[in-house]
Structure 1
Amino acid sequence: MALMVDLALAVDVGGTKLAAALVTPDGTVVDRRSAATPPGDGEVVWRALEAVLLELTAGHAVVGVGIASAAPMDVRTGTVSPVNIPGWRGFPLVDRVSALVPGVPVRLAGDAVCMALAEYHHGAGRGSHALLGMVVSTGVGGGFVFDGRAHLGAAGNAGHVGHFVLEPGGPLCACGARGCSEAIASGPSIVRWASDRGWLAAGVADGRSLAASARAGDPIARAAFHRSGTAVAQVITVAAALCEVDRVVVGGGVAQAWDLLGPAITGALAGWPGLDFIRHVDVHPALLGVDAGLVGAAALVRERAPEGAAEPAPAAGSTR
């Protein structure tokens, strides 16, 4: 590939995949690499990510690095402790990446925050003043973008909408609480709920087969998606009441079945009495798909320091 200028290095860290890409200012991914997230201790995982980054950046200069990571994290120290990467607890990810790509800023945010940033700049969130991006997939995550800036919170964990308690005493969540939106609306949760009520998959019992059953008219499968969408609508009402969110973009694996999930969300919002600015929030499916985390991570590099995050210290050799 010919040498390009003004490229940002985007990194997307997840429990199953470690991905990185070179991204232009307009959000175009021009090259990418990925590897499976290996089991093992923190150094094993780091070496896998390090190999991806070294291969991708060979021969390329970058203006900065943006990292989208599963949470929780602490952006003040640049450390991450993803629930789905047991080997990383307080892992100094920003320092490690800074040493690998010296002289440029390295910024960190949650993967759902980066999805929201990507949709704000290049997708269904364009024109919003107060955007909530939601990821409804294996878990439920969220991120806020206010007037073009990611809102991270003091440590980078703002937007954890998957852990709003919607049903006190409800199903057990992975976080240890009961009745969280993640324990109701996520893909594994709706599959489990349907299976417990007699739904039988024609093959592997997963979100895709549940969606196929729902489209074929199975009443339990349809009820499962309705339950998920209603829970997402509950999350939206809380976010709108707290932050006056004017638009919500919903992505993730469950949201791929938007024909099933979308009407449940919008129908619930329209059917509940209450304040107009809550009931009339614009809700849209995400447009950017699997690239959203990478495109949003690159956007971190190109915006002002996100609200609630300290400006990163210059890396060794930086002239900033």
Structure 2
Amino acid sequence: MTLALAVDLGGTKVEAAIVDDDGVIVPGTRHRAPTGEAAAGDAGVARESIETVVRRALAAAPAPVTAAGIGAAGPVDAGAGTTSPINLPALRDFPIAEVVARASGLDRVRLGLDGSCIALAERWRGAARACDDAIVLVVSTGVGGGVIVDGRLLGGASGNAGHLGQLVIEPFDGDPAPATVERIASGPHTVRWARERGWAGSTGEELAAAYAAGDPLATEAVRRSAAAVGVGIANAATLLDLELAVVGGGFAQVAQDYVDLVQASARDAAQNAYAARIRVERAQLGGEAPLIGAAALVLLD
């Protein structure tokens, strides 16, 4: 059995775990630490959190670990081993591959965009197993994605291919700021949009409850999010001739019909028949996907 260290760095937390060559997280090896506001303003806090979870995961490994895979919120520079997460402004050009290598003592360390890692995971063990041409995206604090083309992960020149959240789509509601998919569809932005229009809640969980209860503002906010994601998918399908979009992430759970709403938006936005045929399905691996996909960077290489 081959084991890999997997690290996932996001806007709210960093996790590490040991993953085997069947794509299974080894029980008892998964550890996490918060990033959030402290790490957003202090790279030293983020470095300490990463080192802590890496050492804890390795200490629980049942056998020697051969390599480490890292999925990070981007943009990333896979060649340089650095990341500059949009939601962690203190971590510009942060040398995450070097930090993990030193904390783990491993020579083989590979960095990928978090969305790409999730795409690898869903292709390996999840909803995209039988599909050679797919986009896998996460709607959460941000919106990220990864693309599988002809059965292989599309990395691009710097490793950032699939960054669907930063696609600029037509401005919504006359807003003069750049209307990216993430700025319209992510959980925090959707909650903020609803609050600015008089909705009394303050969290995604409250928005989900209000949507289920038929609250008009909550309904409009959720549908707006799904519509933006669908437009992004239609653009990707038009460019790359994809057959499947897999949608996951915490905010994608805001409504039982969220994926159906995304499907309808993608179909309506597509300008060509082949793009309109893209299927939209819910992700299968949940919160394990980022770690499984990070490990896949080295286990499937």
Per the alignment, residue 79 of structure 2 pairs with 76
Residue 171 of structure 1: how far off its partner (Å): 4.1
| TM-score, structure 1 normalization | 0.85
Per the alignment, residue 292 of structure 2 pairs with 295
What are the equivalent positions in structure 2 for 1:125-164 lying under 5 Å apart? 125-164=128-167
User: Distance between the aligned counterparts of 1:152 and 1:93, measured in 2?
Assistant: 18
Is the CA contact (8 Å cut-off) linking 1:184 and 1:190 kept in structure 2? yes
The answer to whether structure 1 residue 244 and structure 2 residue 241 are counterparts is yes
Residue 270 of structure 1: how far off its partner (Å): 3.7
Deviations 1:41-72 (A, max 9, x none): 32332122112212221364112110011111
The answer to whether structure 1 residue 18 and structure 2 residue 14 are counterparts is yes
Which has the higher Rg, Structure 1 or Structure 2?
A: 1
User: Distance between the aligned counterparts of 1:149 and 1:110, measured in 2?
Assistant: 15
Residue 213 of structure 1: how far off its partner (Å): 1.0
User: Distance between the aligned counterparts of 1:35 and 1:146, measured in 2?
Assistant: 34
User: Distance between the aligned counterparts of 1:171 and 1:14, measured in 2?
Assistant: 28
In the alignment, structure 2 segments of 5+ residues that lack a partner are none
User: Distance between the aligned counterparts of 1:237 and 1:273, measured in 2?
Assistant: 5
The correspondence for 2:117, drawn from 101, 114, 119, is: 114
Q: Please state whether the residue corresponding to 1:239 is helix, strand or coil.
A: helix
Distance 1:62 1:230, change over 3 A: same
User: Distance between the aligned counterparts of 2:109 and 2:253, measured in 1?
Assistant: 32
Residue 104 of structure 1: how far off its partner (Å): 4.1
The correspondence for 1:7, drawn from 3, 12, 19, is: 3
Residue 26 of structure 1: how far off its partner (Å): 1.6
Is the CA contact (8 Å cut-off) linking 2:212 and 2:255 kept in structure 1? no
| TM-score, structure 2 normalization | 0.90
Deviations 1:80-128 (A, max 9, x none): 1222223322122212322333454211111111111111111111111
The answer to whether structure 1 residue 253 and structure 2 residue 250 are counterparts is yes
The answer to whether structure 1 residue 181 and structure 2 residue 177 are counterparts is no
Residue 214 of structure 1: how far off its partner (Å): 1.1
Task: Among all aligned residue pairs of Structure 1 and Structure 2, give the percentage whose two residues are the same amino acid.
Answer: 44
Residue 211 of structure 1: how far off its partner (Å): 1.4
Deviates more, 1:100-109 or 1:62-71: 100-109
More helix by share: 2
In the alignment, structure 1 segments of 5+ residues that lack a partner are 305-320
Is the CA contact (8 Å cut-off) linking 2:122 and 2:285 kept in structure 1? yes
| RMSD (CA atoms) | 2.0
Per the alignment, residue 51 of structure 1 pairs with 52
Runs of 4+ in 1 over 6 A off after TM superposition: none
Equivalences, count: 293
